[in-house]
Chain A
């Protein structure tokens, strides 16, 4: 059996992987979040799971179990949204990074929407000299989608399919059809808030019956699966380059006599 899930191997198997030169681990961090009336509350958990697993399989790495609770932004106040304070999640993810490094993993890649990871990876580098990386699923290109609602809905649907959750995919398609055209777009897109938010970030929370993602006319499931697979394939050199970069960093520090 070829699993990429760390929870499904023994300590000995992990040791063997590291001794044979394996050094790659993905850390999927999802969320429980009220995103859209047609999307499961755990949508982002399925997305980060599917993407991490695809990347791990393609690059001979492992995945930690999905961390299901994370920091939310505009959606935090909706019933069913669960938001962990950013500074608490910072400490938690820092510990995960430290433990993975001490185990011998040298390529640590978070797959997450948690924006403050920017500082976790920067400060971890400053303190430990190990460049860890972070992939946000938002960066997966999907040109077939004509708008953000279609992009996100199709991506979630594709990841449910990749996770083997055809039952939830079927339900998503049914809920999408049922709710299509019944909700207005987010109030956050109206003037003057929309103008203010172009300048940077400003706190906002959705009101009752206001959703970030709305049902769409057509859910492009197979097209999104193809887009994910293509993107995973294209990222192989970047995942490989992380190894070379980590080596470069360790040599550069040594050569220059830095602490």
Chain B
């Protein structure tokens, strides 16, 4: 079955809608600095693969990724493209409304970029207020907190550092699409960065910022090159892909719960 909208012809979509398929999955990516070694599209590679697997497992339709988001403190680094949250939110809301207007009744927004989390959550609320259709917006970091079993994948591969997780997930996302040449390049860049920086355990940030963080989120820039993601030699594409697949299974299950929730609401009304 064709489940990617970008591969569909008009009649494919007509048939899906006629069959009553009503699950849509929309990945949200970013272009931003990810340390000296990871690709600018790191989050996009992860969310694309995650949304793809989720759509496949849930029998949903995968919509093309919204590739640029609000970034925040990383915009000081070259290659980062920061869209103001208001503009990003309005754009994303329009895309969601289009999806629901097509007849889809269950929409999952897959976001892997921490900085854009609140904005994506906000869009889910706004769309619900306009349509009465619950949209589920997820952030990958939060999903693995809710389902600690997903993190067991990392343990199985001997990984125990968030920077290793992010690099692995990016490699896994690239591997899923068989981009061998890009995968080799990405691995090489990681090894080169480990040679240059070693594997620092701490991230540089001003002590005053750490103190302020105890009471509040506050405007800040990422001041050192490795403050966002540190080089780690143990990054592993197989682990990353296993992590993506494990999380996608949970998200497919969440879509089933969303269906149940909608039925409950309908009955109550």
Contacts and interface: CB of A to CB of B under 8 A. Distances in A.
Interface of A: 1, 3, 5-15, 18, 32, 34, 36-42, 45, 64-69, 78-80, 82-85, 88-89, 91-92, 94-96, 99-100, 102-104, 167-168, 171, 175
B87 A79 contact: no
A66 B34 contact: no
Given A1-B182, A69-B94, A88-B94, A9 B79 contact: yes
A172 to B, nearest CB: 8
Contact of A99 (B34, B81, B102): B81
A42 B6 contact: yes
B41 A65 contact: yes
Given A7-B31, A37-B9, A40-B6, A85 B36 contact: no
Contact of B67 (A11, A14, A42, A66): A66
Given A3-B182, A96-B83, A11 B40 contact: yes
B82 interface: yes
B84 interface: yes
A91 B87 contact: yes
A12 B36 contact: yes
B65 A89 contact: no
A91 B29 contact: no
A99 B75 contact: yes
A99 B185 CA distance: 27
B79 A15 contact: yes
A38 B79 contact: no
Contacts of A66: 64, 67
Given A1-B181, A80-B10, A88-B90, A32 B64 contact: yes
Contacts of A100: 81
Interface string B2-45: 00011111110110010000000000010101111111110011
Nearest to A82: B98
B133 interface: no
A175 B8 CA distance: 12
Residue among B5, B40, B84, B90 facing the most chain A CB atoms (10 A cut-off): B40
Given A65-B31, A80-B8, A6 B181 contact: no
B95 interface: yes
A83 B91 CA distance: 10
A178 to B, nearest CB: 10
A30 B243 CA distance: 32
B5 A42 contact: yes
Given A1-B184, A10-B40, A79-B14, 7 more contacts: A11-B79, A11-B80, A67-B67, A79-B10, A84-B95, A94-B87, A95-B83
